[in-house]
């Protein structure tokens, strides 16, 4: 429940504080006094967008704070956002540049968070609600509000998005099927070419090395053989001479130890030379002139060169390109599987249809209830014999379901109900809108309901009925109503007057609580204009009764 509203430098309000209690509270005042400004200020505290135009002239900052009791439904939300749940204060600041800052219990907050809270705290019925009632979407939304279909609406919106996403993807895939097939064929041809080549990761370097060796095999054999002969086989072979030198120095080292390192070095050289000769012999044993193998290697090199030229790559880049092509093909096959997409689209449509059917069934039930209650209310709103029908018909699937909702009305007994927009006069439309607002609010879960001049277009005995309806609603909710009708104001449990006054060169608006005498004077003014007479006071006193 709204406990208090604090407003500073907002439009024509310099400073005002209003405290609220349960039941039915009315706000009245002369035209232009700023009655609806209170509702506009509260809407800002609940997350409505604003700009610098809301600042009072000459002010540098507007500030609005709204204090609420914490309903049980919000304790979890506050805990999730690490906010104190003992009280709830929503605060909004707007500076002269139009910049806005928001706070929840003193902690910085976003407009989205304010709106999330506001949707669970307050429901505002604006003074132009009867105009929006002519729109099909508004009629559907009002019916869903009456039937408490919010969970179903969220579910079907999600199902609609899921279905449309996969359906659009399927449409794109099917439309581009030919070009996708051409792309697959192009990639597959390239992949097949590289499959046939089957070039290993290091094969190119190995082929080059083998080709060089085979192409120079005779030279390698001759050179290795000559080297072995020079080192070991000739009469004057290096190994023979080195062995003799090593032996001679070893003998001399027996006489002078200074030659020992030289002797050891020569012996090491002799052993190394002997190992080199052994390695050369092993090399020669493996090496042979093999023209056939050379031809095979040259043919393989030629195939690699030709393939690389086709792909405009260097030979060593071919293996990586092969893997890239295979990956692209896998991705293309996976993402563009038309049959799989069709199956997903059918499943998503089936899920949507099931929810749409459930919502449609709920709407038919809610339509019967709403039709009965509004028809009953019309009998007391100067539309005796009138009839209201909420009609639910099959429509095109959409984000809000697959139903068309149309409100129909017959203003008099014996006439056939027709579309509201075609048959209702301005006064009838205002009364039906008010009846719908009150009836829809009976099932509302939010604790505070606000009616901002929704009684426009009614008067006399009908206005008294409206007042009683709102007072009755105040038994179950906190109801705040901005009104210009004395009959409605007289039904309030609490009455505030909004007045405009001069402050220096500026016009400011203020709010004050009326006692019984003040209420009599205000209702008398509403009955008879600026001049209050004994007659209007008497009438006002009678209207108030024991209120």
Instruction: Give the Cα separation of 171 and 167 in Å (integer).
Output: 6
Is this prediction's pTM over 0.75? no
What is the full per-residue pLDDT of the chain (547 aa) written as tens digits? Answer: 999 999 998 888 888 899 999 999 999 988 776 778 888 899 999 998 888 888 888 888 999 999 999 888 888 888 888 888 778 999 999 998 889 999 999 999 999 999 989 888 988 877 655 566 778 888 898 899 889 898 999 999 999 999 999 999 888 877 777 777 778 888 889 899 989 888 888 888 888 887 777 777 777 777 877 887 777 777 677 877 888 888 888 888 888 888 889 888 888 888 888 888 888 888 777 777 677 877 887 888 888 888 889 889 888 888 888 999 888 888 776 555 778 889 999 999 999 999 999 999 999 999 999 999 989 888 887 788 889 999 999 999 999 999 999 999 887 888 888 888 776 566 677 677 777 777 877 766 788 888 887 666 677 778 888 888 889 888 888 999 999 899 999 999 999 998 887 766 666 778 889 999 999 999 999 888 667 888 889 999 999 987 7
**455 DSSP 8-state letter:** T
Predicted local confidence at residue 38, as pLDDT:
87
Predicted local confidence at residue 220, as pLDDT:
78
Name beta bridge partners: 407.
Answer: 390
Contact 405/359 with Cβ under 8 angstroms?
Answer: no
Across 244-363, the runs of DSSP E, i.e. the strands, are none
Could you give the strand order of the β-sheet that contains 2-10, starting from the edge strand earlier in sequence?
Answer: 13-19, 2-10, 61-68, 88-95, 100-104, 107-109
511: closest CA among 9, 131, 28, 77?
A: 28
Contact 107/403 with Cβ under 8 angstroms?
Answer: no
381: closest CA among 472, 458, 485, 489?
A: 458
Report the CATH superfamily, name and number, of domain 1-127+446-513: P-loop containing nucleotide triphosphate hydrolases (3.40.50.300)
Distances (CA, A) of 247 to 229, 251, 267, 445, 483: 22, 6, 8, 113, 130
Residue 138's Cβ-side half-sphere holds a number of Cα atoms within 13 Å equal to 14
| Dihedral sign (CA 8, 11, 13, 19) | negative
Distances (CA, A) of 338 to 84, 164, 347, 355, 525: 53, 16, 14, 26, 74
Predicted local confidence at residue 338, as pLDDT:
79
Predicted local confidence at residue 221, as pLDDT:
74
Long-range contacts of 535-543 (CB under 8 A, 24+ apart): 540/486, 540/490, 543/486, 543/487, 543/490
Predicted local confidence at residue 37, as pLDDT:
84
Give the pairing type, strands 13-19 and 88-95: unpaired
Name beta bridge partners: 61.
Answer: 95
Predicted local confidence at residue 128, as pLDDT:
56
Domain range list for the chain: 1-127+446-513, 180-335, 514-547
């Amino acid at each position: 429940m709204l406990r208090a509203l604090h407003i500073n430098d907002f439009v024509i309000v310099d400073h005002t504080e209003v405290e609220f209690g349960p039941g039915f509270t009315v706000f009245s005042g002369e035209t232009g006094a700023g009655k609806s400004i209170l509702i506009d200020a509260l809407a800002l505290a609940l997350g409505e967008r604003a700009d610098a135009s809301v600042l009072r002239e000459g002010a540098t900052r507007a500030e609005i704070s709204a204090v609420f009791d914490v309903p049980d439904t919000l304790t979890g939300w506050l805990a999730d956002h690490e906010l104190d749940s003992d009280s709830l204060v929503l605060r909004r600041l707007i500076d002269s540049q139009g910049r806005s800052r928001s706070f929840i219990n003193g902690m910085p907050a976003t407009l989205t968070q304010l709106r999330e809270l506001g949707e669970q705290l307050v429901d505002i019925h604006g003074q132009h609600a009867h105009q929006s009632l002519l729109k099909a979407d508004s009629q559907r939304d009002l019916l869903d509000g009456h039937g408490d279909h919010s969970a179903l609406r969220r579910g079907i919106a999600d199902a609609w998005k899921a279905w449309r996403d996969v359906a659009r993807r399927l449409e794109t895939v099917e439309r581009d099927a030919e070009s996708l097939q051409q792309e697959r064929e192009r990639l597959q041809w390239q992949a097949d070419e590289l499959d046939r080549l089957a070039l290993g990761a290091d094969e190119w370097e190995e082929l080059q090395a083998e080709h060089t060796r085979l192409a120079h095999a005779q030279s390698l054999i001759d050179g290795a053989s000559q080297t072995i002969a020079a080192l070991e086989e000739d009469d004057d072979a290096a190994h023979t001479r080195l062995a003799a030198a090593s032996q001679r120095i070893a003998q001399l080292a027996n006489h002078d130890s200074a030659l020992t390192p030289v002797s050891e070095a020569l012996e090491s050289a002799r052993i190394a030379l002997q190992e080199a000769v052994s390695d050369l012999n092993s090399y020669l044993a493996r090496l042979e002139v093999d023209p056939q193998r050379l031809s095979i290697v040259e043919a393989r090199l030629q195939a690699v060169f030709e393939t690389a030229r086709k792909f405009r790559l260097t030979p060593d880049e071919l293996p990586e390109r092969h893997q890239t092509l295979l990956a692209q093909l896998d991705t293309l096959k996976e993402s563009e599987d038309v049959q799989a997409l069709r199956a997903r689209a059918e499943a998503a449509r089936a899920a949507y249809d099931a929810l749409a059917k459930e919502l449609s069934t709920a709407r038919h039930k809610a339509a019967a209830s709403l039709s009965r209650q509004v028809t009953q209310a019309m009998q007391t709103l100067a539309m005796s014999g009138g009839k209201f029908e909420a009609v639910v018909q099959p429509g095109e699937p959409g984000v809000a379901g697959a139903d068309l909702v149309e409100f129909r009305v017959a203003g008099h007994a014996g006439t056939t109900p027709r579309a509201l927009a075609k048959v209702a006069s301005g006064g009838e439309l205002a009364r039906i809108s008010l009846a719908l607002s009150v009836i829809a609010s009976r099932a509302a879960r939010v604790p505070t309901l606000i009616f901002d001049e929704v009684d426009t277009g009614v008067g006399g005995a009908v206005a008294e009925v409206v007042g009683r309806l709102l007072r009755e609603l105040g038994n179950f909710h906190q109801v705040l109503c901005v009104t210009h009708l004395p009959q409605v104001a007289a039904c309030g449990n609490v009455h505030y007057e909004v007045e405009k006054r001069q402050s220096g060169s500026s016009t400011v608006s203020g709010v004050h609580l009326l006692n019984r005498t003040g209420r009599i004077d205000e209702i008398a003014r509403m009955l008879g204009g600026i001049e209050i007479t004994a007659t209007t006071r008497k009438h006002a006193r009678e209207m108030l009764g024991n209120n």
